[in-house]
């Protein structure tokens, strides 16, 4: 019997952001979040377990991972091994269709794919909810990438109640996300460290948590009703409030660059001209514009003028996790 499997998971962008953990060891978030899984960015991961192997070997885009990045994968594999009661070590081969570490959620697709491939390879048959719980322990946002389209991660109160599920949507098939790659380089402060500092030091943080839970329910309803204006307004506000907690941390930090501000201003300008669109930003300088298919040509022209066509990536609602036995 071969102990191998391959999984493909797409990344997701949060419309209501996850920012801060209440329990880092158990990877429980302070607040729930809601995201859109995207077609354009994904990770394909093959895991092969070998009973005789002495240690895990992890490759990303063909190159051996070392140091903390490799240990993070091994610790995750330890969880999978513990679930099955095997000591087997693994060879992991992962390929990213995402600029790694540029705020385009590579850890979400990475750990969702790893959860799918490793669990199947070792002989576990997990439900989508169990896969979401497992993926969460690799990286919080990964629990949402198990699902296609819109997903809601309920914060929960313990390990088994903190997972994502699909959110029913109506009239949103023409939703698009235009990613403006302001800077594709590796970001400075990791999300994990940024969250830690924000929770510990920002006086705005309690207000963030309170509003995030309220906005989460509003967003769920807006998605259910297909209310694009409400979705965009809530998403933009969630992103701005999250970044306000970073600006108010000690020491303060900021992921924005000059190009980020330019893109945000262009979005506001286009909106004022009647081309409805909204922006969101994550733990990096890139700006993601939420729009509808009909507005896309105008947006691409306006943003392309400043950033160049090659800096624009059009993403659409994407599929959930797929696992193959080979």
Residues contributing to the site for ligand 2P0 (CB under 6 A): 14, 17-19, 33, 107, 139-141, 191-192, 282-283
Contact, 7 vs 113, CB < 8 A? yes
Supply the minimum distance, in Å, between the C-beta of residue 213 and ligand 2P0. Answer: 14
Q: Are 43 and 9 in contact (CB under 8 A)?
A: yes
Least distance to ligand 2P0, CB of residue 152, Å: 11
Within a 10 A sphere around the Cβ of 72, how many other Cβ atoms? 17
d(CA 221, CA 164): 16
Compare residues 132 and 139 and give the one whose CB is closer to ligand 2P0: 139
Residue 125 neighbours by CB under 8 Å, 6+ apart: none
Quick one: which of 193, 247, 190 has its CA closest to 24? 193
- Least Cα distance to 213 among 24, 25, 20 occurs for 20
Integer Cα distance of 240 and 30 in angstroms: 18
Least distance to ligand 2P0 from the beta carbon of 18, Å? Answer: 3
Closest to ligand 2P0 by CB, 17 vs 275, is: 17
Shortest distance, position 54 Cβ to ligand 2P0, whole Å? 28
Choose between 5 and 235: whose C-beta lies nearer to ligand 2P0. Answer: 235
Nearer to ligand 2P0, 56 or 282 (CB): 282
Closest CA to 264 of 293, 294, 243, 292: 243
**Residue 67 C-beta: closest distance to ligand 2P0, Å:** 17
- Coil vs helix vs strand at 57: strand
Residue number closest to ligand 2P0, CB atom: 140
Cα 229 to Cα 206: distance, rounded to the nearest angstrom: 27
CB of 166 to ligand 2P0, least distance (A): 17
If the CB atoms of residues 33 and 162 are measured against ligand 2P0, the closer one turns out to be 33
């Amino acid at each position: 019997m071969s102990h191998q499997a391959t999984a493909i998971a797409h990344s997701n962008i949060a419309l209501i952001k996850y920012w801060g953990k209440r329990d880092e060891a158990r990877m429980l978030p302070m607040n729930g979040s809601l995201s859109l899984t995207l077609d354009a960015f994904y990770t394909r991961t093959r895991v092969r377990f070998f009973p005789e192997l002495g240690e895990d070997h992890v490759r990303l885009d063909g190159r051996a991972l070392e140091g903390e990045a490799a240990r993070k994968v091994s610790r995750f594999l330890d969880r999978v091994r513990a679930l099955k009661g095997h000591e087997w070590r693994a060879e992991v081969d992962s390929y990213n269709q995402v600029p790694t570490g540029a705020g385009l959620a590579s850890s979400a697709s990475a750990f969702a794919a790893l959860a799918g491939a490793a669990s199947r390879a070792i002989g576990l048959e997990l439900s989508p909810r169990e896969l979401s719980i497992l993926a969460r322990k690799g990286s919080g946002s990964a629990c949402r990438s198990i699902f296609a389209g819109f997903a809601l991660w309920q914060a929960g109160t313990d390990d088994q109640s903190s997972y994502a599920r699909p959110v029913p949507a109506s009239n949103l098939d023409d939703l698009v996300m235009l990613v403006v790659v302001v800077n594709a380089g590796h970001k400075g402060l990791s999300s994990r460290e940024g969250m830690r500092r924000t929770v510990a030091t920002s006086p705005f943080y309690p207000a963030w948590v309170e509003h995030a839970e309220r906005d989460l329910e509003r967003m769920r309803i807006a998605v259910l009703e297909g209310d694009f204006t409400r979705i965009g307004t809530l998403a933009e506000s969630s992103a701005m409030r999250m970044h306000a907690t970073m600006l108010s941390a000690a020491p303060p930090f900021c992921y924005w660059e000059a190009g980020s501000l330019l893109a945000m201003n262009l979005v506001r300008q286009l909106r004022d001209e009647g081309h409805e669109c909204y922006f969101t930003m994550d733990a990096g300088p890139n700006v993601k514009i939420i729009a509808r298919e009909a507005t896309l040509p105008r947006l691409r022209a306006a943003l392309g003028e400043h950033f160049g066509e090659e800096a624009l990536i059009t993403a659409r609602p994407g599929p959930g996790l797929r696992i193959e036995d080979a």
